A and B are shown apart, each in its own frame.
Chain A
C-alpha cells in the first residue's frame, strides 16, 4: 500500500514526461524515418552528409568546443579565487554570477546585439577613446562570445561546488608530507574537482552545440549552425521529415558527448589520477 502511494507521487511527473518528452521523441523518430507521403526512408538521416549540413554540423561542433574551452579557462581560476575568499563574500559573488540569469536569456542576447552594433555603446566608447572599433557583430566570434556569456554560470557553479567541498585537512596533510603548491594543485585539487569540471563541460557543451537563437540574432543570418538548419527545415521549408532526421543525428552527438563525459566523471570520482 505504502509502495503504491509512493508511485502515485510520481504521477504528475510521469504525465509530464509522457506528454512532453516521450511523445515528441516518438514523433521525431516517426518523421525522421518517413517521407512526406509516409513511406519508410533513410534519406532524412543520410542527408546529414550533404555538404551544407555537414558543414553546419562541423561549425556547431567547432563553436561549441571553443565556447566550452573558454568557459573552462575562465571558470577554473575564478572558482579557485572564489574558494579562497571569506565565506560571506563568497555568497555575494556567487549571487552576482547568478544575477543575470534572473533576466530572460533572449533579452540578454538582444542587449548584446545593440551593444555590439556599429553605432552601439561599445564602439562609440572605443571611438571616443581613440581606439579602433570592434567589428565582430554578425560573425562567429560574436556567437561564441555570447554563448560564453550565457553559459558561463553553468561552468563556474559546479566547479566552485566541487572545490568548496575539498576539506582543508587534506590540503594540510599534503603540505605536512612535503608537497609544494604545484603538486597539491595537480595531485589533489584537480582530481577532486574533476566531477565538477565534467558536469560543467556537459552543461555548457550540449546547449552550445544545439543552440540556434544566439546564432540567429548575433550571426546576422550569416552563421548557419546545425540548429538553424533544423529550425529552417521546420519553420520555413515545411519539411518536418528532414528537420526530424537532422535532429536525430544531433541527438546522437549530444548523447555521445554526455556518455563520454559521464564515463570520465566516474573515473574522476574513483580517483584514478
Chain B
C-alpha cells in the first residue's frame, strides 16, 4: 500500500516536471509563436520569413475572437504575436494585456495608409499598440436569381417570409445582434437592456425562417447555391463572387459594422524583437501582396493597393467605398455584465424552437 503511494507521488512529480522542462528550454530558442484567424496568412510567406531570418515560426489558428481570448487566457502557450478584431483588442488593452509597439523597429509600417490608423483610434486611441492588417464591413451576400434585388438595400429582407428556409444568419453574438439593432435604429454598441431585448425579439421572430447559423461555411453554402442570402464579412463575399457569377453583395442602408483586424504583441510575448521583425515583414509590399491574394480582404497597405488592377481597386465589395464606411460603426467591447446578458439572450435565440 505504502509502495503504491510512493509510486503515485513519483509519477505525479515526473508528470508535472515534464511540461516545465519543455518550456524552459524553448524560450531561449530563436522562435516566434503567432496566433491568427484561420486561412488568414499565406503559408508561403511564413516559409520565406523563416528562410530570410532563420527564426522558426510556430503558427496557430482560431475561429472567433472569443476563441482567441480563451486560448490566450488559458496561458498554456506564450504567444508572441496575435491578430484579432477591433473590440477584442480593446478588451485586451483595457485588461493591460497588450505591449506597446516600437514603431522604430517596424519602419515599413509607413506603407499602411494613415486613414486606417485613424480608424484604429476607436480601439487604440493613441495608435501605440496595433498595426492594421485587413478591414471590411458586414453585409448581405445574395443570389441574384433567387432574390429580388430591389430589397437588398435593407436588413429587413432577412425577415421576409418569401425567403423562408433560404436565409443564412451569422453564428456570432455580436454580428447577429448588430443586424437586429441596426434595423431598430440603435447603436450596435448599445448596453441598454430594453434595446437588446427588442433586438432579441426580432431575432426570435426570424429564427423559423433561418436555414442555418454559420460563420466560415456561409460562403461555401452560397457558392453551391444552397441558400438565397447570407450575412457575411465583405472579404468573404469578395471571395465567393469569384466562384459564382450569380452572387452579389450589398451593405444595407441602415448601416453596418466596420471591422479592422490588427496585429498586436501580447504581454505573454517572449520574443518581442522577432515579433516586430515579423510585423515589418508583413508590411513589406511583396508579402502584403501575397497575403492579399491569399485572403482577398481589403488591405490597408497603400502600396499594395496602388499596384492592383484598377478594376480590383474599384471593386466595392472588397474595398468598401468611403460613403459606406462612414455609415458604419466599429464594435466596442462590452463590460462583463452586459456580455453575460447578451450571451444569455443569444443562447435563448439559439435554443428557441
Contact = CB atoms under 8 A, between A and B. Distances in A.
Interface of A: 4, 7, 11, 14-15, 18-19, 52, 55-56, 117-120, 135, 137-138, 220-222, 224, 229, 232, 234-238
Contacts of B73: 238
Contact of B15 (A18, A137, A138, A236): A18
Nearest to A232: B347
A135 B165 CA distance: 10
Interface in B294-347: 339-340, 343-344, 347
Contact of B343 (A11, A118, A119, A237): A237
Contact of B225 (A52, A119, A138): A119
Interface string B182-226: 000000000000000000000000010011111000000100111
Contact of A55 (B214, B221, B224, B351): B351
19 contacts: A4-B3, A7-B7, A14-B7, A14-B11, A18-B8, A18-B15, A56-B351, A117-B221, A117-B226, A119-B224, A135-B165, A138-B212, A220-B210, A221-B171, A222-B350, A234-B70, A235-B67, A235-B70, A236-B64
Nearest to B4: A7
Nearest to B208: A222
B76 interface: no
Interface residues of B, number: 36
A119 B171 CA distance: 22
B347 A229 contact: yes
A18 B351 CA distance: 36
A176 to B, nearest CB: 55
B47 interface: no
Contact of A118 (B3, B227, B347): B227
Interface of B: 3-4, 7-8, 11-12, 14-15, 64, 66-67, 69-70, 73, 165, 171, 173, 207, 210-214, 221, 224-227, 339-340, 343-344, 347-348, 350-351
Contacts of B15: 15, 18-19
Contact of B66 (A55, A137, A238): A238
Nearest to A219: B212
Contacts of B3: 4, 7
Given A238-B66, A238-B70, A224 B226 contact: no
Top 5 closest A-B pairs, CB basis? A220-B212, A221-B213, A118-B226, A52-B351, A236-B66
A235 B211 contact: no
A7 B284 CA distance: 60
A11 B7 contact: yes
A237 B225 CA distance: 32
A31 to B, nearest CB: 12
Given A52-B347, A229-B347, A236-B64, A18 B212 contact: no
Contact of A238 (B69, B348, B351): B69
Given A56-B351, A222-B210, A18 B70 contact: no
